[in-house]
Each structure stands twice: as C-alpha cells, then as structure tokens.
C-alpha cells in the first residue's frame, strides 16, 4: 500500500520519501526517494530523520512496537 500511495503522490508532482522494509517492489517515479531499512529501529530512526523536513506523512507500515529483553533465549 505504501508503494502505491508513493507512486500516486509522485505522479501528481509530490516529492516523496519512501521509508520501507525489505521488499521486492520497485519505485518507478524519479520523484520518489527510497530509504531501505531492515529493522523497526532503523525505520524509526529514518522516519525521525526525514519527518522534520516534510509537509505531511502517511504511515502504512505495520512494524513491531516492542523488543524482547533477551533476544535468542
């Protein structure tokens, strides 16, 4: 859904920053700047970095909002 929204907004002339997790989807419009992340923490950091420079935000990702205290146990 995020890719479709980004493509639609870019087709109407918007400069879009798309922060996305690991997917095989491609962006087709040169007005879309794609920021690839792997973890929820990286997505958070990228969003914090870019949100202060944007006029609006549309968030469609369903990322985990918790982290285990002892990963791998």
28-71 pLDDT, tens digit each: 999 999 999 998 889 999 999 998 888 999 988 777 666 677 87
- pLDDT of 10 reads 97
CA-based nearest residue to 40, from 57, 23, 59, 62: 62
22-55 residues labelled b (16+ CB within 10 A) or e (exposed): eeeeebeeeebeeeebeeeeebeebbeeeeeeee
Q: Does 73 have pLDDT greater than 70?
A: no
pTM beyond 0.75 = yes
- pLDDT of 34 reads 97
* pLDDT band, residue 3 (cuts 50/70/90): very high
């Amino acid at each position: 859904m995020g890719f479709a929204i980004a493509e639609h907004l870019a087709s109407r002339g918007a400069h879009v920053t798309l922060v996305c997790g690991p997917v095989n989807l491609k962006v087709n419009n040169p007005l879309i700047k794609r920021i690839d992340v792997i973890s929820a923490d990286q997505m958070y950091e990228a969003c914090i970095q870019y949100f202060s420079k944007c006029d609006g935000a549309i968030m469609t990702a369903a990322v985990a909002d918790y982290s285990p205290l002892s990963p791998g146990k």
